[in-house]
Amino acid sequence: MSKIFMQISRLFLGIIFLVAGINGYFVIFGFEPFIATSPEAMALFEFEYLLIAEKSLEVICGILLIINQFTPLAIAILSPIVANIFLLHLFLDHSLLFLAVILVLTHGYLLFYYRKNFMSILERKSKPSQ
């Protein structure tokens, strides 16, 4: 059961971030986005390179999650993005707070599921590899 829920969570996050990343490219290229964007979120991207960097990471990580390749890496890269999305909707724009909470819960579940992949970075005194 947990493996099925992990796969659903992974695909859900992958699709959400792939679609959000592509939607961001519509904004970057001056087209009308197919999903409404938060004005508060767009105000944070004063410099366009930040939007390009974030949306590129979202697309890449979304694809990695969907094809189930380098999943722990994608989860690690998406961690600050998910935190930023949650905090933005918690403090500035409450319109998509429910989706942000779902993202945090889903992402948290994947972090828990892949916790053994992250244990080595939490070592207090790590040893360099030979």
Predicted pLDDT at 12: 96
The per-residue pLDDT string of the chain (130 residues; one tens digit each, 9 = 90 and over) reads 789 999 999 999 999 999 999 998 988 888 888 887 777 777 776 678 888 999 999 999 999 999 999 999 999 999 999 999 999 999 988 888 999 999 999 999 999 999 999 988 888 887 777 7
- Cα separation, 40 vs 24, in Å, equals 14
- Cα separation, 103 vs 60, in Å, equals 17
Predicted pLDDT at 50: 85
Predicted pLDDT at 97: 92
Judge contact between 100 and 85, C-beta under 8 A: yes
Tokens 């792939």, located at residue: 18
Predicted pLDDT at 49: 84
